[in-house]
Amino acid sequence: MTTINTPIGRVMIKNARLAFPNVFEASSVNGEGEPRFGATLILSDEEQIAAVNKAIEAVAKEKWAAKADVNLKALRGAGKVALRNGDEKANYDGFEGNYFVAASAKANARPTVVDGQRQPITERDGKIYAGCYVNASIEIWAQDNAYGKRVNATLRGLQFVRDGEAFGGGRPAAADEFDVTEGAGAEDFA
């Protein structure tokens, strides 16, 4: 039997609602900072929230040992942990009453984006949008450097699960929403 040794901070989130997806082309926020990929995952399932918290606690203990609990308490109070209460963003659709994980990846590490059969999805496919449901592979890691202390999440990949009500303006119309027309040419509309 083969044992796969996965990093302690790696978590597979199932059936999360996707918000603020930026997974096809790295960009910076308001034109500032280093371009990155990113997405926010809205969680309502208690078991998944507990799994993310468990990973946060594990990487904190690995990084800060005996000071992990004290550091985590301070970081959570300052909003510097990847898992946060959705009520902080209650003015955005889908966040209120849930939790969310904001995850990102460096511009040179584009996350994998696939469909239910693990086939690549491109931006042109229109499958990944704010409001759809996804599975997401993330990796939690602790930061302690000149930029401060935090517990972050790296977005490793997304898998489209199913459609959901789109956030903020909807999606483009699907081709099958239109009727098939016979003989309609430009002259018919002149």
Distance CA 103, CA 185 (A): 48
| Global pTM value | 0.84
- For 10-167, give the CATH class: mainly beta
Give the model's pLDDT for residue 8: 83
Percentage with pLDDT > 90 across the chain: 77
Tell me how far CA of residue 166 lies from CA of 40, 92, 131, 142, in angstroms. 14, 12, 4, 33
Give the model's pLDDT for residue 31: 77
> Which has more pLDDT, 107 or 170?
107
CA angle 147, 149, 152 (to 5 degrees): 100
For the chain, domain boundaries: 10-167
Please write the tens of the pLDDT for every residue from 34-79.
Answer: 999 999 999 999 999 999 999 999 999 999 999 999 999 999 999 9
109 pLDDT higher than 60: yes
Interhelix angle 46-64/68-77, nearest 10 degrees: 120
CA proximity to 170, closest of 102, 112, 96, 93: 93
